[in-house]
């Protein structure tokens, strides 16, 4: 067994259960005789570059356990892109310097596609530098778009929130005796998993009539025809639109109109949002009825009060399993889930080579989308329902959720 210290970091957008993975990994690491000191990086890889590490050994076990019901990234996240080491290895040299200073022999990074790319680059560099360190990626994303794993921690809880919220909005929209068109925007850049989860509400009789995913090209003309057909048949129309929907030219919805310019982040991803509002303005010009735009925004990724117990448990187990595999000598992999069966629901933990999941995206299978490209079919429901089971339990104080309150003692 390789003995030494461990550092954990969080990257990318947070989820309702990302801290459950932290709890699983960190509590297991504190109990391991092979891990001497346990650290967490402030704001992910940025904290490592700045040598700002928290000493997890100073935390109370009770507070670490509360991470399982605490949303957001408790140690801080980042969207920092490392350069190609063949072009600029300065940051890699700094990472190696910090790792040597603190005898880091285990590095775990919790995030999505770009995070796995960062893990792989660091793993290759440390191996080239002949510095023994186990590098492991722990999956996290509400987008559910990581390759090599059946699903990702964070998706199920967000899916449960989306489906529940659609059911609630649907009932609210039917209060008055006049028809409405409601357009709801859900997160998802290139993969429509989360928007597709709105079909669970329709499955229960209170969901959207139309669902549009990035997996199919979006057409304003077809959208107008679809809305008109539902309106003529039912009066009310509820639409779920993924923020990443784009036309055959690759233009996102906001870019289909004049005077639009989307900013990009450090990874070159366009900062999306506003699809529902844009389409609502478009529809208002075509229909003489009330139109409402709703954007779930951050709520869909931080609603820990509605977290799926399956999701919470699997996220925790992912942290534990990642450490177990690393202690067994494995490195340069992402922890993944392999589904064994739906009924009863069963999975097993697997190792996915980082090279097979870094910078790659898993999309909703085309055969799970209807021919018209405006709704989701039964196989998606069968896939997702097992992931959202269970009644959410939460320790409260004065009627409000009790979140972890960590000391965050910096290592000197």
In this model, does residue 273 exceed pLDDT 90? no
User: What DSSP string describes 167-195?
Assistant: HHHHHHHTSSSS-EEEEEEE--SS--HHH
Q: CA-CA distances (angstroms) from residue 285 to 76, 139, 304, 312, 375? A: 43, 43, 38, 44, 24
Domain ranges of the chain: 4-144+304-360+388-401, 155-301
Tell me how far apart the alpha carbons of residues 393 and 12 are, in angstroms, rounded to a whole number. 26
Tell me how far apart the alpha carbons of residues 273 and 111 are, in angstroms, rounded to a whole number. 21
Q: Are 195 and 242 in contact (CB under 8 A)?
A: yes
pLDDT for residue 305: 95
141 - beta bridge partners? none
pLDDT tens, residue by residue, 77-120: 999 999 999 999 999 999 999 999 999 999 999 999 999 999 99
Is-same-fold flag (4-144+304-360+388-401; 155-301)?
yes
In this model, does residue 274 exceed pLDDT 70? yes
252 - beta bridge partners? 246
Segment 331-338 mean pLDDT:
98
pLDDT tens, residue by residue, 197-235: 999 999 999 999 999 999 999 999 999 999 999 999 999
In this model, does residue 303 exceed pLDDT 90? yes
Helical pair 309-327 and 18-31, crossing angle rounded to 10 deg: 40
pLDDT for residue 77: 97
Domain 155-301 sits in CATH 3.60.20.30: no
pLDDT for residue 189: 84
Q: CA-CA distances (angstroms) from residue 21 to 25, 65, 168, 315, 373? A: 6, 11, 30, 5, 35
pLDDT tens, residue by residue, 121-130: 999 999 999 9
Q: CA-CA distances (angstroms) from residue 115 to 46, 111, 118, 122, 355? A: 12, 5, 5, 11, 12
- Peptide linkage before 265 cis (omega within 30 of 0): no
Question: Where in the sequence numbering do the catalytic residues fall?
Answer: 143
Segment 289-300 mean pLDDT:
95
pLDDT band, residue 264 (cuts 50/70/90):
low
The alpha carbon dihedral of 41, 46, 156, 205 has a sign of: positive
What fold characterizes domain 4-144+304-360+388-401? Rossmann fold (3.40.50)
């Amino acid at each position: 067994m390789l003995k030494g210290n461990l550092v954990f970091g969080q990257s990318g957008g947070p989820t309702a259960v990302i801290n459950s993975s932290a709890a699983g990994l960190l509590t297991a690491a504190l109990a391991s005789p092979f891990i001497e000191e346990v650290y967490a990086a402030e704001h992910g890889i940025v904290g490592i570059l700045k040598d700002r590490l928290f000493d997890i050994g100073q935390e109370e076990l009770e507070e670490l356990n509360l991470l399982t019901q605490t949303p957001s990234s408790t140690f801080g996240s980042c969207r920092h892109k490392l350069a190609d080491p063949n072009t600029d290895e300065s940051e890699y040299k700094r990472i190696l310097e910090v790792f040597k200073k603190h005898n880091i022999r285990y590095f775990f990074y919790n995030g999505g596609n770009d995070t796995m790319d960062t893990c792989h680059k660091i793993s290759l560099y440390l191996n080239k530098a002949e510095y023994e360190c186990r590098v492991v990626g722990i999956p996290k994303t509400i987008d559910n778009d990581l390759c090599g794993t059946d699903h990702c921690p964070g998706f199920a809880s967000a899916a449960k929130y989306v489906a529940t919220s659609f059911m609630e909005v649907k009932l609210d929209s039917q209060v008055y005796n006049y028809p409405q068109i409601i357009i709801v925007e859900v997160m998802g850049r290139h993969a429509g998993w989360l928007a597709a989860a709105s079909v669970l509400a329709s499955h229960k009789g209170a969901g959207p009539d139309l669902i549009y995913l990035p997996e199919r090209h979006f057409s304003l003309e077809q959208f107008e025809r679809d809305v008109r057909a539902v309106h003529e048949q039912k009066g009310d129309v509820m639409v779920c639109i993924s923020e990443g929907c784009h036309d055959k030219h690759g233009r996102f919805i906001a870019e289909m109109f004049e005077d639009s310019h989307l900013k990009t982040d450090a990874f070159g991803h366009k900062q999306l949002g506003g699809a529902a509002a844009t389409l609502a303005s478009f529809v208002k010009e075509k229909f003489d009825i009330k139109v409402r735009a709703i954007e779930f925004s951050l709520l869909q990724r931080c609603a820990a009060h509605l977290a799926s117990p399956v999701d919470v448990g699997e996220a925790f187990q992912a942290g534990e399993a990642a450490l177990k595999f690393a202690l067994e000598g494995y490195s340069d992999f992402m922890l993944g889930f392999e589904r064994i069966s739906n009924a009863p629901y069963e999975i097993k933990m697997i190792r996915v080579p980082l090279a097979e999941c870094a910078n790659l995206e898993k999309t909703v299978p085309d055969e799970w989308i209807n021919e018209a490209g405006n709704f989701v079919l039964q196989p998606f429901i069968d896939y997702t329902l097992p992931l959202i089971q269970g009644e959410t339990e939460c320790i409260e104080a004065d009627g409000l959720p009790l979140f972890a309150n960590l000391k965050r003692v910096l290592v000197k």
